[in-house]
Each structure stands twice: as C-alpha cells, then as structure tokens.
Structure 1
Amino acid sequence: MTAATPAASVTSYAFWAPDGRALADFYAAALGWKVTEEYPDEHGVPTAFLVTDGTTTFVCYTAKRFKAPEWPRDELPFHLDLAFDDVGTAERRLIGLGATKPDHQPGGAYWTVLLDPSGKPFCISARS
C-alpha cells in the first residue's frame, strides 16, 4: 500500500432473502442485536433492514427472486461463522428461532452447519 492508496473500512455486510425482515429478525435474535432501521423500495414497501450491535451492521434485503444455494452441491461465495460458549444450547436456540440443520455436517467435532431461514448455510462453533 502506498501513501496515495486510500484506506477503506467495511461498513456493513449484506444478505439477500425472500423476506428481508424475517432474516433480520432471525439474526438480531441469534446474535442479541437489534433491528435498528428499515428502508423502503420505490413503492414505499420496506425491503432493507439494518441489524446491528453498534459496531457491526448486517443489511438484510428482500429479494423476490432470491434462491438459496443448494448446499453442499453449490459452492458458497461466503458464509458466517458464529462462536458460542455453549454450542449445544446455541444450536437448540437457533433451531427454535427458525434455523434448520442439514444432514451434511463436514465439520466433525469442530463446527456445526445450520441453515438460516433463507436457506443459506452458516457455521457455529465453540468460542476459542
């Protein structure tokens, strides 16, 4: 990096889903964060929802033509890794919030794969 190269920072992470509000509510509950803002489309219908803890922000968008990846067949451009003190309790809680647990579990004893309500995989593991 040279002195002329501007530094950048990540301002948010964006996620698409068939129901952006439902996905925002899921991650807010899963992480103990809050849905803080919503933004309408050109018709005034809320379609983007901000979820934050005050330092990190997720933007959950409603995308009418969203199609979840067919994991593990489809490669993923990215996914989330979430760490918890008690993985078993976290897994049960996340499933209660709307996550599902696929049969394919490549993480062995290291992590568990869950699917969020939009069908996208994310991993949970023990906090290190």
Structure 2
Amino acid sequence: MNPQMELVAITLDCPDPLALAAFYQQATGWEPHPKSDAGFAGLNREDGLFIGFQRVEDYRAPSWPDQIVPQQLHLCFKVTESLDDAETRLLQLGATKPPHQPHGDKARVLTDPAGHPFCIVVS
C-alpha cells in the first residue's frame, strides 16, 4: 500500500496575521479560527482545511514575478463568478493586480495585502 497524505493546513508568513486573515475571510467566507490573535491567526474551511497566518518580524513581501524575494508559495482559487467580477471584488478588499499576467483569459494573478501572489480561475 502506498502512503497517503491529506493536506490539512497551509500557513503564510506575514506582518499582520489578523489583517491578512480578515482579507482571506472576506474573500472566501471561511470561518475565523476562535484562537486567532496578533501572533497567529487562521481560517477554517467546512471540510477541515485550515489556512494560517503567522507574524514574522521584518517580513519582506514576495516580489513576483521576479525572484529578488521569492514567492515560496502560490495559492490558486476557483471562483464561481466571472474573473472580472472576482477581480473587482478582491481589489476592493485590498488585493493588487501585478502588470504581468501570464495566463491570458484563463486565470488572473493577484497579490494579497501582504504581497503573496495567488491566482483566481473560473470553476
């Protein structure tokens, strides 16, 4: 039998865990973890997946698409709305849109308020 692993958590470094958790909570609708605080915050998805945000002193945001400060992690989210509508909503929440968009009409690359790149794709 082959070993099996199930992904149960992802943690992102950031300067302000509560602020970044609030961004992703508004973007995804996931529930805030009840023990979130200024040093470590998290969100729970209904199926048990957890995304955490940990404070890092002297945090340096990724400089995507160049690798002066590597991205180290790239999240991808399926959206149920159009890419244009999802992009507009996420930009209003505090995301930014880098000029480099390598996927044409198939996906959009945005960065969260701490600078982590992530993609949105139509489900």
TM-score by length of 2: 0.87
Q: Partners in 2 of 1:104 and 1:34 — Cα distance?
A: 32
Aligned length: 119
The residue number in structure 2 matching 1:71 is 64
The residue number in structure 2 matching 1:49 is 41
* Cα deviation, residue 76, structure 1: 3.2
Match of 1:83 among 72, 75, 78: 78
RMSD: 1.7
Matched residue type, 1:52: N
Q: Which runs of 5+ in 2 are unaligned?
A: none
The residue number in structure 1 matching 2:26 is 29
Query: Stretches of 4+ moved more than 3 A in 1?
Result: none
The residue number in structure 2 matching 1:43 is none
Matched residue type, 1:38: K
TM-score by length of 1: 0.84
| Structure 1 residue 122 corresponds to structure 2 residue 118 | yes
The residue number in structure 2 matching 1:107 is 103
Which structure has the larger Rg over C-alpha atoms? 1
Q: Percent identity?
A: 34
- 1:17-51 Cα offsets, whole Å, 9 max, x none, are 111111111111111112123356xxxxx310120
| Structure 1 residue 58 corresponds to structure 2 residue 58 | no
Q: Which runs of 5+ in 1 are unaligned?
A: 41-45
Secondary structure at 1:37 match in 2: coil
